[in-house]
Structure 1
Amino acid sequence: MTHTPKIVIIGAGPMAIYTAKGLLHGDAPLELTIFDATDQVGCGMPYRAGMNADYMYCNAFSREIPSITQPLVSWLHDQDDAFLNAWDLARDDIDARDFYPRVLLGHYMKSEFDQLCEAGRNAGHTVRVLPNHKVVDVVPTESTIKLEAMTPDGQSSFAFDKVVLATGHDWPTAPKIGGADLVSPWPYTNITDLPAGRVGVLGSSLSAIDVIVALGKQHGTFIEEGDKVSWFSNPDSEAMSVTMVSHKGIMPEPDFYYPYPYETLQHVHPEAVSAELESGTGALLERVFALLLAELNDAAPDYMEALGPKAQSIDGFSEAYFNHRETVGGLRALRETLTAAVKSKENKETQHHRYALLRGHENFEMILEHLNDEDWQIFSEKLMPVFGDCYAAIPHISVRRVLALYDAGVLQIIPTGPESSFSNSHSGGVTVKTVDGDITFDALIDARGQAAAALSDLPFPSLVSKLSAPKGDLRAPFKLDLSTPTKGAVYCLSMPQILQRHPFSQGLPNCDALGRDVSKDILRSI
């Protein structure tokens, strides 16, 4: 009798969904089981109602979100008027270049997940979805991979041939930095429950913007008239003041116009990077950076001339890239960059240096797992901050809300600089050492985003004990190397572990690509 492969995905968020999509498109019949610890299966924590507020936006426009069974825009058009009205959407305004709230995307993914599972069943696969099943251990055995899970009926054991860990983000409920206790931003009610007072926000990127907007919504009202946004405090919230603290004291730039489908870069494209890989790993980072420089020098010569000669080296590029915004000041620079971004969209003209960096940095992903330790450190310290900044383009509505709070006099941003320190204050708050001196907050919210973690930090003790290299890096196709012989296999797409060596993996297009890598490897092996 032919054995039908038994595959399980632990988690039911975007990484799991795109992995399942790849598996269910295979020809051979599968038994696919999907476990999720919650009862909200098919959306994932960043898109889940209750964890996120309705006004928190995704920073990918709709056409960039990979289709599951149909594109987001098509799905939106299929919804009835009552649904669209609830989201303040007019059918005529649905646009492939628009940004949408993350919770709305959660509804899309949940609906699409259900459709995907049904299509898989119709294609001859067995698909089981098990909500409220929290996996507490993964146990490799000689013949199979056993799972221990807490179910609504108590603890149970399950056996599978292939296991995919797609457990998503992992946020500490009581985060710390140094000796200071921070407030977790998840669920968002941790933010909105804070009384008006001196609130600090640690970080200044996308997570910080969510926090700031949540505070603004809770303690006042945004008045939005076209492109003009104002903010007015509630009568009982006049004591509210918000300070972002981050290393550089700047914010990412607003979203800008660029061609989609994407135009091919001339220098730092996949074929060129592959050729550098084939030439060996010696000076690999330097050689691929030279491709990026060639791209920038050709596409944006005026910009590169303005950065100065230091920008022609890895050591000098990061400093030159951030220098103008640091000099102007974080929120003043944000207003300046919004003006340029609005002009870019209105005229449908790209900002060439930003497009080269946005598209070019994706091709650096090809070399990251091949870098030696020295080059990895250089990349992490010098180039990753630049790439993270350009990757984190902000929807204009979010920028305008942030600037409205700044104009109302309740928001500022202060750099901590290299000598920062954090400690609990005697009053019960947190004191931060910044370039402007010590500042004490009633509460400091952790908005640094998802941190990377080692394989040894996976929450499955038996699996960790069987890892050949618990401090090693994950490499495609993300199959774990186990020290015990087994006919089974475990693949790891858990977000903190993926980020250890693949720092551009949090977006939905990245989840799609990683899910395809794993599903292809599994299908090849069965």
Structure 2
Amino acid sequence: MARVAIVGTGPTGIYTFFNLIQADASHRITMFERGEKAGIGLPYSPEAASKSMLANIASIEIPPIDAPYLDWLKGQPDAKLRAFGLDRAELDDRQFTPRLLLGEYFRDQLLSLLDRHRARAEVLENTEVTDVIARNDALFLRAAGREFGPFDRVILATGHVFPDADEATRSYFPSPWSGLIQAEVPPVSVGIMGTSLSSIDAAMAVANQHGRFHRKGEELTFEPTTKGLHLTLMSWSGVLPEADFWCPIPYEPLQVMTDDAVAQCAGQADPLDRVFALLQQEIAQADPAYADRIGLATLTADTFADAYFAAREAQDPFRWARKNLEEVEHNKAHRITVPWRYALLRMHEKVETLVPHLGDADRSRFDAGLKKVFVDNYAAVPSESIRRLLALRDAGLLSVLALGEDYEMKREPDRTVIRAKGKTHLFPVFIDARGQKPLESKDMPFPGLRRALIGSDQDIPELDGDFALVGVPGYEGHAHLAAIPYLMHDRPFVQGITASSEIGAAIARGISAAPGDLRSGAAGDPDHVGGLASAAH
């Protein structure tokens, strides 16, 4: 019987727990959660989200745990649904719902699993793990002034890492999750770095303090209640994300860019150029008109991004957003798939498997080109988010700033100064909403593991197929690193709930398939793990 610890109870921790139970119900599992409520996860918590912030994933895409998300929604009281702006009669498996509801769903799923497996599982809330210690061919966890263990396996599913709220000031927020939800933002010029859904969420968090959205039929307007507020979203190019588009789910198989075809690229001297050739063939076959329109046959892995964004960059971003919104809503109503968009959506995960095999030069080329295209494609935002941006624009409260690559940003005590394209922009309040950055071994919050990684000359943790650490004495064969920021170097598209599910499944397969010198429970008590009574719930 393997004794397993899972550090973190957000989606990755929950899917790992679920898959471990499915694979082998004999595992004895202890879950550690530093917050008051296990199972929610930072992006879906009241500390990081409000009722207006939408999840960028629909029920049809969320891997079910005990119950599919849509079934869970239908089981909620009418009053609760109305409080979140939902109508029971309009619930749909492709609907985007508030992130807070998704957090409640995951917590309910976790508690249901714990209740059914109380003899083998427990969760410890308000218990922040501060170190992971290797000793006597096992791992021990230090938390709350105590030591827990020994554990045969420890899964670090600690999720996203953003600056704490105490790093924010009245004029500067290092991320949208650094106290912005609780802060009172004055009606001034507010700068928001980024144009993704996180940036839109930041804009909504501020706008909702100074007015209200009103809906009349399909029309959404914003009525301000204060004077002086203006929001500026900014990025290098100044393009807004496009609205989520209709496509068949589950995904249909690709015709050209198959797993075998991508694997063959990995062993060649020019893997990036070879995989781009597959992309060209896939799009040309799926959507010849689009391929001709952008001159796809003449493009390279270095010029494709410029051609992809050219039309949007040439137009006013709000005019493009309005036109795109009309297109995707028409396509959703008539179930029309735009072939080239669908092809790109299905290809990004295939290409991601090649990234670890790219040399430094090709990785730089990839990050500067194809990566931006894939991120733009799969990170399309809910239509409602675009409607809100347009409503703020129509109210005269929102603009978009194209910075270019040579902009300068300077933080001052009471403002942030941006200099771009010969102009100076002053923001009394500034929010950095550029999202999660990849982390390295030196950023590991657990001192024992950090020393071991650095001592093993691993600037970036080396992992095998089940996310187990490789080449780290004492931790190899025992520790699995499922924390998203440490995976982003080799898996640039790893973020999201579907990725959490895939990570959890891979870890469960690895642990359940591994031969073990598994120990009995502490002091011979089969319901005792490291001195802790099991099944807290």
TM over 0.5: yes
- Could you say what secondary structure the match of 2:96 adopts? coil
Give the structure 2 partner of residue 118 of structure 1: 115
* Aligned twin of 2:519: none
Q: Which position in structure 2 is the counterpart of 1:252?
A: 241
- Aligned AA (1:470): Q
Q: Distance in 2 between matches of 1:322 and 1:182?
A: 29
Counterpart amino acid of residue 176 in structure 2 = P
**117 and 469 in structure 1: CA distance in 2 versus 1, 3 angstrom threshold:** farther
Shift of 1:89: 2.5
- Provide TM-score, normalisation by structure 1: 0.92
1:424 alignment partner, one of 411, 414, 422: 411
Per-residue CA deviations over 1:108-145 (Å, capped at 9, x if unaligned) read 11111111223334xxx610100011011111123211
Counterpart residue identity of residue 434, structure 1: A
Q: Which residue of 1 aligns with 2:99?
A: 102
The residue aligned with 2:177 is 186
The answer on whether the counterparts of 1:430 and 1:444 sit within 8 Å (CA) in structure 2 is yes
- 1:349 aligned residue (328, 331, 336): 336
The residue that corresponds to 2:497 in the other structure is: 508
Cα offset for 1:57?
A: 0.5
Given candidates 89, 92, 106, the residue that maps to 1:92 is 89
What residue number does 2:402 align with? Answer: 415
Query: Amino acid of the residue matched to residue 462 of structure 1?
Result: G
Tell me how far apart the structure 1 counterparts of residues 449 and 425 of structure 2 sit (CA, whole Å): 44
| Contact 2:131-2:446 within 8 A present in 1 as well | yes
- Relative to structure 1, the CA distance from residue 310 to residue 270 in structure 2 (aligned partners, 3 Å threshold; closer, same or farther) is closer
Distance 1:211 1:132 in 2: 28
Cα pair 2:243 2:325 within 8 Å, conserved? yes
1:224–1:230 CA contact under 8 A, matched in 2: yes
Q: Quick one: distance in 1 between partners of 2:382 and 2:336?
A: 17
The one-letter amino acid of 2:85's match is D
Deviation string, structure 1 residues 162-216 (Cα, Å, up to 9, x no partner):
1110001110137999xx9544311564575111101000000110010112222
Aligned ranges 1:356-505 → 2 under 5 Å: 356-425=343-412, 428-435=414-421, 437-467=423-453, 468-475=456-463, 476-485=465-474, 489-505=478-494
Distance change in 2, residues 1:199/1:365 (3 Å): same
Distance 1:169 1:241, change over 3 A: same
Q: Map residues 199-210 of structure 1 onto 2, 5 A cutoff.
A: 199-210=190-201
1:169 counterpart residue number: 160
CA distance in 2, matches of 1:382, 1:283: 16
SS at match of 2:213: strand
CA–CA distance in structure 2, aligned partners of residues 256 and 206 of structure 1:
15
Structure 2 gap segments, 5+ residues each: 517-537
CA drift at 1:486: 5.9
In structure 1, what is the Cα distance between the partners aligned to 2:39 and 2:30?
Answer: 13
Map 1:234-383 → 2, pairs under 5 A: 234=225, 237-277=226-266, 280-308=267-295, 312-383=299-370
> Which residue of 209, 218, 223 maps to 2:209?
218
Matched AA of 1:143: D
- Name the counterpart of 1:60: 57
Question: In structure 2, what is the Cα distance between the partners aligned to 1:507 and 1:173?
Answer: 21
CA distance in 1, matches of 2:296, 2:192: 35
Task: Determine the structure 2 residue equivalent to 1:232.
Answer: 223
Three-state SS of the structure 2 residue aligned to 1:520 is helix
Alignment correspondent of 2:28: 31
Opposite residue 143 of structure 2, the aligned amino acid is: A
> Which whole-Å CA distance do the structure 2 matches of 1:491 and 1:456 have between them?
17
Identity of aligned residues (%): 35
Q: Is the 8 A contact 2:173 2:180 kept in 1?
A: no
* 2:319 counterpart SS class: helix
Q: Distance in 2 between matches of 1:311 and 1:444?
A: 42
Structure 2 partner of 1:133: 127
Alignment partners' CA distance in 2, 1:191 and 1:107:
20
SS state at 1:466 partner = helix
Q: Secondary structure at the match of 2:24?
A: coil
- 1:421 and 1:310 map into 2 onto residues whose CA distance is 37
Distance change (3 Å), C-alpha of 1:28 and 1:256: closer
How many correspondences in the alignment?
A: 510
**In structure 1, the residue corresponding to 2:26 is in which secondary structure?**
coil
Secondary structure at 1:314 match in 2: coil
Q: Offset at 1:256? A: 1.1
TM-score, scaled relative to structure 2:
0.90
Question: Which position in structure 2 is the counterpart of 1:147?
Answer: 141
Give the secondary structure class of the aligned counterpart of 2:39. coil
Residue aligned with 1:55, SS:
coil
**In structure 2, distance between residues paired with 1:473 and 1:488:** 14
Structure 1 residues 311 and 224, CA, compared in 2 at 3 Å: closer, same or farther?
farther
The alpha-carbon deviation at position 502 of structure 1 amounts to: 0.9
Distance 1:181 1:217 in 2: 19
How many angstroms does 1:482 deviate by?
4.4
Equivalent position of 1:78 in the other structure: 75
Superposed displacement of residue 260, structure 1: 1.8
SS in 1 for 2:302: helix
1:445-466: per-residue Cα shift (whole Å, max 9, x none)?
Answer: 0110111111221101111111
